[in-house]
Structure 1
Amino acid sequence: MNQGSLDTASTMLRALIAGSSCEHIANCHGVTKSAVSQRIRILALELQRIVGVVGVDEEESPTAVLIRLNGDAYLEALEHFVPDAALALDLRRDRVESEDIDLCVMKIARHSRCIRRDTALLLTLFSTAAKPLEISQLEVRDYLEESGCIRTHSALRAEIAMNRISRDLLFQDQATNTAIDDYLSERIAHGIGTHGRPFYRGLRPDSKLFLSRSGRAMQLRMNGAVGQHLVCKEIHEIYRRIFAYSGLTGINTALARRTAAQTLLDNGANSEEIGRTLGLRKLAVQKLLRHGAGAAP
């Protein structure tokens, strides 16, 4: 999408969110109604896929109703949108490579104001394939046993899963576990979320696993006037900063899940198995892999 097309599509998107009909927008620009719908849809999909629209799944079809319900989130994503990132993602990135993650970790150490937490958040995203909203709601008890040992085979509780269905949550990546342990040790040293007893390493089991820099739980809120759903703007902003540190284009939370799906596919998993691991329907799995090297069987 060149700059001229982006400017036109952005103007149309803003008008739609402000309440104008596609027919009215078409009359203003001297084009057909279908042309307006197509331009808005293409831009909305790129915002979902490249930047991430808080409260909207990256694979969800951006209808006019959906865009209006989540207008503020689309406008916020538009402020962060870099067209070159879309080109880089389409032409170069089927997945995030280990050296890309290593670079992100190095840049976090150089630029972040919360190094241990941000490192743990980055690695948790790639090793568990959980969504940011799900990660923001993880609790200490989801990661630790009462004895303080790591729950290497945990479960994403149904009440925090996006589809409200419990699924496996694996903490079997050593680098991820080390990063989380370092972050929890920092919290314990500062008495953040602790209870003064030896259980769960002295941390409150119901304390959120990842906290804001001030030590409180990340803020959740309901979004949308109709069909309300939970969103966590704070964790999306954290991930945006993390990826911005790296200077790499086309890396985002959606690509992290595509990487996980592609890895499972390479290891012989089918669509049903990938969907069960990521909490997605078969059709959503196929959409997720559409930009990858192949399609799930």
Structure 2
Amino acid sequence: MKASDEDLLELVQAVLDGRQTYRSAASELGVVRSTIERRVKGLVRRLFAAGMLGSFREEWIDDIATLRREREAILGAARVFRGSVAGRCVSVPGQSELALAATRLREKGGAGHRDAALICVLFDTGMKTIELARLEVADYLAEDGSVREVSKLRAAVAVNGVERPLHFSSQLVVESIDAYLAERTRRMQGLGDPARYRGLDPNSRLFLTDSGQPFLITARSPSDPRPACKYLQATLRQAFARAGWPGMTARRLRRHVAITMNRQGATRGEVQQMLGLKANRSVKRLTSTLPARADSQMVPSE
């Protein structure tokens, strides 16, 4: 392993052995807590994706107590991991590939309409999964049923609690959401007054589960009270795989949006506002690795 790889392995071992917490390791290295947490969890995610952790379950990654319980398996896999600790590259599709994938997913009917809309919205907005789960019909539709091309991601929806602009100006995004809402109406999911909001309840979630229920939002783990939507995360993984992009995640598409905005001349402040980032340094982190090609962009795993 390279020196930097050895440093990361030592850091992971210190945290999993209980000799360090995320916070104490961050203090020692002069960085913020989230940086250490991201590096440790990032390595575990790559080992999991490589199939090197046996019966390890992906949701365990967010629970430090479980990671410590599984430390022998994690550290053993990390020592023999042949991939770069910095992460492998995952191809982000271009607009033409996205349109074809959306068509393929919609042709499946049912959940295919929803899945096509989900990935199109993520591709266009860089929204976080939890924000996607919180969106409501009225965030997308006006009372007369027209699309709110210029909307707002409400403070109650945004992860950082700060309202920010939300645009539904992409034809592909609008077509995908409209097709899904038509399917929702046909399946009688989340209906309201027939004369308003295309007959949908404006306060119902924009995206629903297969059975027509909101995606459940819970704490990440018993030791981490931050909200998470694991069912939607799993739904997205399946949607990406069916679209032909196994390994793709909402986080990578978020980075793709940041990189695209940066290449198109957006300021750091504009990227920060668009993605709801808390700190300007987060923009630098997201845009630090430029894609290789304009239409098939290579984005490192996190």
Do the two structures share a fold, i.e. TM-score over 0.5? Answer: yes
What residue number does 2:283 align with?
Answer: 285
The residue number in structure 2 matching 1:172 is 169
Please give the per-residue CA displacement for 1:192-216, whole angstroms capped at 9, x wherever unaligned. Answer: 1112431111111101000000011
Residue type of the alignment partner of 2:42: L
Moved more, 213-222 or 189-198: 189-198
DSSP 3-state at the match of 2:161: coil
Question: What's the counterpart of residue 101 of structure 2?
Answer: 104
User: Share of identical aligned residues, percent?
Assistant: 28
Aligned length: 257
* Alignment match, 1:159: 156
* Deviation, structure 1 residue 99: 4.0
2:64 to 64, 68, 81: 68
Contact 1:132–1:235 under 8 Å retained in 2: yes
Aligned-pair RMSD on alpha carbons? 4.2
TM alignment of 1:1-297, pairs within 5 A: 20-22=17-19, 44-47=41-44, 68=64, 71=67, 90-91=88-89, 93=91, 95-102=92-99, 104-109=101-106, 114-225=111-222, 228-248=225-245, 250-280=247-277, 281-293=279-291
The one-letter amino acid of 1:174's match is Q
**Change over 3 Å in CA distance of 1:148–1:288 after alignment to 2:** same
Counterparts in 2 of 1:91 and 1:186: CA distance versus 1, 3 Å: closer
Cα distance change, pair 259–201 in 1 and its aligned pair in 2 (3 A): same
Which amino acid in 2 is paired with 1:291? T
Equivalent residue of 1:230, what SS? strand
Task: Report the residue type matching 1:138 in the other structure.
Answer: L
Relative distance call for 1:22 and 1:112 in structure 2 (3 A) is farther
Tell me if structure 2 keeps the 8 A contact 1:218–1:235.
yes
Instruction: Provide the rounded CA distance (Å) in 2 between the counterparts of 1:85 and 1:99.
Output: 30
- Kept after mapping to 2: 8 A contact 1:89/1:250: no
| 1:91 Cα deviation after fit | 4.8
TM-score scaled by structure 2? 0.70
Distance, in Å, in 1 between the alignment partners of 2:107 and 2:194 is 35
Distance, in Å, in 2 between the alignment partners of 1:270 and 1:54 is 35
Give the superposition deviation at 1:132.
1.1
The TM-score normalised by the length of structure 1 is: 0.71
User: Post-superposition shift, 1:105?
Assistant: 2.6
CA contact (8 A) 1:55 1:231 kept: no
Q: Distance in 1 between matches of 2:38 and 2:192?
A: 50
Partner SS state of residue 228, structure 1: strand
Q: Deviations over 1:109-168 (max 9, x none)?
A: 576861100001110111122111101110000000011110000000101101100000
Amino acid at match of 2:267: N
Report the AA paired with residue 68 of structure 1: I
Deviation at 1:283, TM superposition (A): 0.8
Distance 2:276 2:104 in 1: 31
- Deviation of 1:255 (Å): 1.7
Of 101-110 and 161-170, the range deviating more from structure 2: 101-110
Structure 2 CA distance, aligned partners of 1:262 and 1:100?
18
Is the CA contact 2:237–2:246 (under 8 Å) kept in the aligned structure 1? no
